[in-house]
Chains A and B, each alone.
Chain A
Amino acid sequence: MSYKKNEDLDSGPGGAVMDKMTVFQDCIAGFNASPIQPRKCRVLLTKLTYLLSTGDTFARDESTRLFFSITKLFQHKDIALRQMVYLVIKELATSADDVIMVTSSIMKDTTVGSDVVYRPNAIRTLARIIDASTIQAIERLIKTAIVDKHPIVSSAALISSYHLLPVSREVVRRWANETQDTVLAQKVFPQAAYGGAAGGLGIGPAGPASSFMTQYHALGLLYQLRSHDRMALIKMIQQLANAGSAMKSPAAVVMLIRFVARAIDEDRNMRRPLYTLLEGWLKHKSDMVNFEAAKTILEMRDSTDAEASPAINVLQLFLSSPRFVSRFSAIRILNRFAMIRPQNVNVCNIDIEALINDPNRSIATYAITTLLKTGNEASVDRLMKQITGFMNDISDEFKIIVVDAIRSLCLKFPSKQASMLSFLSGVLRDEGGYEFKRAVIEAMFDLIKFVPDSKEDALSYLCEFIEDCEFTKLAVRILHLLGEEGPSTAHPTKYIRYIYNRVVLENAIVRAAAVTALSKFSLIDDASVQESVKVLLTRCLDDPDDEVRDRAAMALRLSATEKPIAKEYLSPESVPSLGALEQQLILYVTGGPDAASIAFDISSVPFISKDQADADQFRAKTMATLPILGGTSLDSGSGAGSGGVSPSKTPANIGEDYAQKYATSLAKIPELQAFGALIRSSRPVQLTESETEYVITGIKHLYKEHLVLQFDVQNTLPDTVLEDVSVIANPSTADDGTEPFVEEFIIAIPRLTQESTGTIYVAFTRPSGEEHAYTGGVFSNILRFTSKEIDPTTGEPEEEGYEDEYQVEDIEIGVADFLVPTYVGNFQHMWDQLSFETSETYNLAGVGSLSEACSSVIDSLSMQPLEGSETPLQNATHVLKLFARTLQGGKVVALVRMAYSAKTGVTLKISARAEDERVAHMVVGGIA
């Protein structure tokens, strides 16, 4: 075996790049030759793997030809050739036909003695080519391999089982016992035996850490096999966690911790016992395990201060570790936690300060951004100076983290905007890729939007930037913003010059955007400005590009019309909801020729006013900067989510979104069409435990005069069919004895087959009249149905069924259903504007911390927290500022003062002001 071959691989003789078809022809010829030349074939196979792994693909018939010519190489006595053959077949298995042909041949290689080097290769390949109809044939074989005494064979079998799960979960599930044995079997084999045996096989050096990899693999598989059964899972976790020294592989322990995190997330009752386990792992001898345990504790939803502090202490120790990787991991976890609970990280500030000058720039970056979050206003300036010092030395990715930290800081300390703005404009001039520039621009946009004082300066920085901007996308966005904000500034003419420069110098896309921005300046009440804009637009009519000319012509025409009309078209107050518009257009386009005969109806698309759009954006921004709590799903892995750039899972608690989601399905039901447009849909609420026989979720839909309760019923029983499934929802009677909600009709499910889901709608008339606009109520719900068992022999349900009832939890119509969280820039201004004020004091004894109280208040009122007040900065007292609009558009603000003491829990005083007295009362009363 010589390694020289690699040289003529990468760049064939004379540096020529390998050609796919040449390799293909060589392979076909080489593999079919008789007798086989193992050396030559190995080189050919290596070339083939190189091509496949660098992204080349072969057409289906080519792959198949290759595959079948490779099968001629089977059973050759050259061991290295056998291994290569397996590697290539694994690659080709997905693209060639009839790969099942090699099953028997491979099976021969998997049953040889365990010291044969190609046995693991054969096992892994076998899993790739097998299909559901033949999996039984290899069942015994894999079972034996799983419990094989050789760890590498065992690992190969476990990993293969993993890949076989999608092929046939049923069959793989039968290997659970073998897998379980393998998890615990580790202690039987002392470490030395591994090193020796693996070395004898010639498969890489088996270090002490890697020799327990099998345990990790086995645990992963075991979890997959048990994941459907929560009780078994909990049992497994507890059993393994208490096995102590049996868990030899740190990787396996880390995985176990992830399972624990998930279990805690799903079942609150398990929290206490499982937390003790996590705490124990903080003292584990492996750093990896310590980090994972600390991370899990800190990411637990509503972890209390007492729970968090041991984890923080452990991380604090690592902050002064001599190893880069430990310091990095520790500061990264603290950084994420500082986003949510800066006050808890304060204790580490001294250690973090020391890291600012760390030779590793990544660690320094995290240290500074963490300090920015935990620090107070006074220290901000000093830190900013520090950052400017090394901004040039770090990679774009970390620059983005810094910029994100600055951005959230801007929203938190609006008074510091001047120094931050100059910092941002400074980095904007530096070199950087698109993502980085985009992050800076976003931050400046936010400043303009949410910190009004910074507007003028920020705009002029942006103007400078587009003078020399290589990214079309960014230039277009900035031009749009200039068009939006420019006309309302003190010196609009300044921006016109910058914009017109773009028309002269840039490509067509930017020019078109510039023309649109320019046209918005024609709305300014100044004849001379209007005149010069008109002149500029007229010049644009000579543009070589169609789009630019069209836009210019349209703008000229509109500016000649009366002002209200021009305004409506040039800078509209509300825009269509883009998501809904897209959906409607897709429906229209796919509707076939019938739908195309009538024009698209734009009025069916909901319009969003500027206020609403702002609120949505603000919420998305604050969400995106927060790490997603409880999101430690296994697939996210440890490497995911650097700081805050993971907006993929932004939890949308906005009424708007839910209404959009359900509007289409509700509109299909003829009985509900008469109710008019859907005003609001609530988020789905679980009405049963998630592991009961019938799983029910409820959703409230509000119409102008009606209320519709939607029940999604899932029949989880495998052997019972439900018929005539309906929900009897009883509204509560009001204080004065009347029944405000009157039932209209129920749309039941005629038949719900086993393990399927159906939907029931119950419609009510809402109390009419202005005085009842905010009347709520409680509905007690009973599921009623006829259940019929399925005869196991025929598969048909039995004739006779019996009627049954099932009590589910109540649905409440309360404050949250009448309020829409809305963003507003200035809380104090809004507070002073509104007249009716009421207040009330409550004591929440069961609440363990201020942040818990904050989130529960925000949740139950469905109002928008302002000025970053949703995260308490101190442990003892906090002021929460909230704003919302009612469904009718009325404004309401609330100021919640809270105090926490360990003895009495949280005491809070809520004061609400609104345009309408009843709304203020409703908000104040909504907390109880």
Chain B
Amino acid sequence: MSWFWNFYEFILSLFWSSEMDITLLGLQNAGKTSLLRVLGGGEFTSDSIPTIGFSMKRVRKGRVNIKCWDLGGQPRFRSMWERYCKGVNAILFIVDSADPATLQIARMEFEALISKPSLEGIPVLVLGNKNDLPDAYDVDSVIDIMNLKAVDDREVSCYSISAKERTNVDAVLSWLVSKAS
């Protein structure tokens, strides 16, 4: 009977499975690669090496197959973000909410990114990572600092998460799945 079940699964996937692309952006050391590992169900590790260029990983949530493009955050790679954001279903912008020094730069990069005409209308999710650290900003402060209220041409959401503690990680996944076309 196994062939029957296989066939059944196949039929189901034809109608129900969907594929989506997302990109993970943010300055270096914001926690993109770690978050992606946790999203995929892996364990958190603190000693990941900086991403050179990009790396790609698939995450499956229910019937949605998510292709995640994790891009390097160092200045030399930022010019190439746009190339990988074209035509994706959603952009995840991750900031280190416990590091006030980098937040201003993050805001500038963020604004530069969403002003690109080629990326118009793509929904953005801003994540304030590392909220497990003692002096991390809360969600409202991140919204203020990133000036998210000024964005009016697309859907923007903001969560405060911790990849280490898995806080709000499932909420992120649900948000993503809701954007599957």
In the assembled complex, which residues on chain A have CB atoms less than 8 Å from the CB atom of B77? Answer: 101
B57 within 8 A of A: yes
Tell me whether B49 and A105 are in contact (CB under 8 A): no
Please, what's the 1-or-0 string for B49-65, where 1 marks a CB less than 8 Å from any CB in chain A? 11111111110000000
A137 lies within 8 A of B49 (CB)? yes
Residue pair B21, A105 in contact (C-beta under 8 Å): no
Tell me which residues across on chain A come within 8 A of B135, comparing CB atoms.
none
Chain B binding surface SS class: mixed
Cβ A98 vs Cβ B72 within 8 A: no
What's the Cα separation between A101 and B53 when bound, in Å?
3
Report the separation of the CA atoms of residues A71 and B54 in the bound assembly, to the nearest whole angstrom: 9
Residues from chain A with a CB closer than 8 A to the CB of B55 are 104-105, 108
Partner among A34, A101, A134, A137 whose Cβ is within 8 Å of the Cβ of B54 = A101
Q: Which of B56, B58, B80 contacts A105 (CB 8 A)?
A: B56
Interface hits, B62-82 → A, CB 8 Å: 72, 76-77, 80
In the docked arrangement, what's the CA distance between A35 and B13, Å? 14
Closest to A106 in B: B53
Q: Given A68-B83, A98-B80, A137-B49, A104–B54 Cβ distance below 8 Å?
A: yes
Q: Which residues from chain A contact B57 at a C-beta distance below 8 Å?
A: 75
The distance in angstroms between the C-alpha atoms of A34 and B181, with both chains bound, is 13
Is A578 an interface residue, CB under 8 A from the partner?
no
A75 to B59, CA, bound (A): 13
Q: Using Cβ atoms and an 8 Å threshold, which residues of chain B touch A108? A: 55
Contact B53 A75 (CB under 8 A): no
Q: By the criterion CB–CB under 8 Å, are A104 and B19 in contact?
A: no
Residues of A contacting B21 with CB < 8 Å? 34
Residue from B52, B56, B83 within 8 A of A134 (CB atoms): B52
A428 to chain B, nearest CB (A): 63
A49 at the interface (CB under 8 A from B): no
Q: Is the interface of A mostly helix, strand, loop or mixed?
A: helix
Write out the residue numbers on chain B whose beta carbons fall within 8 Å of the beta carbon of A103.
52-53
Scan A73-109; emit 1 where CB is below 8 A from any B CB, else 0: 0110000000000000000000000101111110110
Checking B50, B51, B56, B72 against A75 with a beta-carbon cut-off of 8 angstroms, the contacting residue is B56
Closest Cβ neighbor of B79 among chain A residues: A98
User: Which B residues are in CB contact (< 8 Å) with A105?
Assistant: 53-56
Q: Complex Cα distance A35/B67, Å?
A: 11
Residues of B close to A68: CB separation below 8 A: 83
Closest to A77 in B: B58
CB distance from A706 to the nearest CB of B (A): 59
8 Å CB contact of B19 from A35, A98, A101: A35
Q: How far is the CA of A137 from the CA of B21 in the complex (A)?
A: 28
Min CB distance A656 to B, Å, is 54
A-side contacts of B83, CB under 8 Å: 68
Give B15 Cβ to nearest chain A Cβ, in Å: 15
- Asked if B58 contacts A104 (CB within 8 A), the reply is no
Residue pair B53, A100 in contact (C-beta under 8 Å)? yes
Q: In the complex, which residue of chain B has the Cβ closest to the Cβ of A65?
A: B83
Are A74 and B56 touching (Cβ within 8 A)? yes
Are B51 and A104 in contact, CB atoms less than 8 angstroms apart? yes
Please provide the chain A residues from 21 to 73 with a CB less than 8 Å away from any CB of chain B in the complex: 34-35, 68, 71
Chain B, 118-148, contact with A by CB distance < 8 Å: what is the 0/1 string?
0000000000000000000000000000000
Nearest residue (CB) in B for A130 is B52
Q: What are the residues of chain B within 8 A of A71 when measuring CB–CB?
A: 54
Residues of B with C-beta under 8 A to A35 = 19
Q: Which residues of A contact B58 (CB under 8 A)?
A: 75
Nearest Cβ on chain A to B64's Cβ, whole angstroms: 13
Proximity string of chain A (98-126) to chain B, C-beta cutoff 8 Å, 1 when within and 0 when not: 10111111011000000000000000000
Q: Which of B49, B52, B56 has the most chain A CB atoms closer than 10 A to its own CB?
A: B52
Q: What is the bound-complex CA distance between A843 and B80, given in angstroms?
A: 79
Please, which residues of chain A bring their CB within 8 A of the CB of B54?
71, 101-102, 104-105
- Contact A101/B80 with A34-B21, A35-B19, A137-B49 known, Cβ cut-off 8 Å: yes
Inside 8 A of B56's CB, which chain A residues have their CB? 74-75, 105
Measured in the bound complex, the distance between the Cα atoms of B48 and A108 in whole Å is 12
Residue among A75, A101, A104, A137 with most chain B CB within 10 A: A104
The answer to whether A104 touches B80, judged by C-beta atoms less than 8 angstroms apart, is: no
Closest to A133 in B: B76
CB distance from A771 to the nearest CB of B (A): 75
For residue B19, which residues in chain A have a CB less than 8 angstroms away from its CB? 34-35
A98 to B52, CA, bound (A): 11
Query: In whole angstroms, what is the CA distance A100 to B77 when docked?
Result: 9
Q: A100 vs B54: C-alpha distance in the bound complex, in angstroms?
A: 9
> Least Cβ distance of B74 to chain A in Å?
10
A137 to B72 Cα, complex, angstroms: 14
- C-alpha spacing A284/B162, complex, angstroms: 67
Give Cα A919–Cα B76 distance, bound, in whole angstroms: 73
Shortest CB distance A182–B (Å): 25
Complex: how many Å from CA A68 to CA B84?
Answer: 9
CB distance from A70 to the nearest CB of B (A): 12
B80 in contact with A137 (CB, 8 Å): no
Please give, as numbers and ranges, the residues of chain B lying within 8 Å of A75 by CB-CB distance.
Answer: 56-58
A104 contacts across to B, CB distance below 8 A? 51-55, 72
Q: Smallest CB–CB gap between B81 and chain A, Å?
A: 11
Q: A100 — which chain B residues lie within 8 A by C-beta?
A: 52-53, 76
Distance between B181 CB and nearest chain A CB, rounded to angstroms:
11
Q: How far is the CA of A259 from the CA of B180 in the complex (A)?
A: 63
A137: B residues at CB distance < 8 A:
49-50, 52
A859-914 contacts to B (CB < 8 Å)? none
> Which of chain A's residues have a CB closer than 8 A to the CB of B80?
98, 101
Q: How far is the CB of A580 from chain B (nearest CB, A)?
A: 50
Complex: A104 Cα to B55 Cα, angstroms: 6
- A102 — nearest CB in chain B belongs to which residue? B53
- Chain B: CB-nearest residue to A64: B83
Q: List 17 A-B contacts (CB under 8 A).
A: A34-B19, A71-B54, A74-B56, A75-B57, A100-B76, A101-B53, A101-B72, A101-B77, A101-B80, A102-B54, A103-B53, A104-B52, A104-B55, A104-B72, A105-B53, A134-B52, A137-B49
Can you list the 10 inter-chain pairs with the closest CB atoms, starting with the nearest? Answer: A101-B53, A103-B52, A104-B55, A104-B51, A103-B53, A104-B52, A75-B56, A105-B55, A104-B53, A74-B56
- On A, residues with C-beta under 8 Å from B are 34-35, 68, 71, 74-75, 98, 100-105, 107-108, 134, 137
Contacts A98-B80, A104-B72 known; 9 new A-B pairs at CB < 8 A: A68-B83, A75-B56, A75-B58, A100-B53, A101-B77, A103-B52, A104-B55, A105-B54, A137-B49
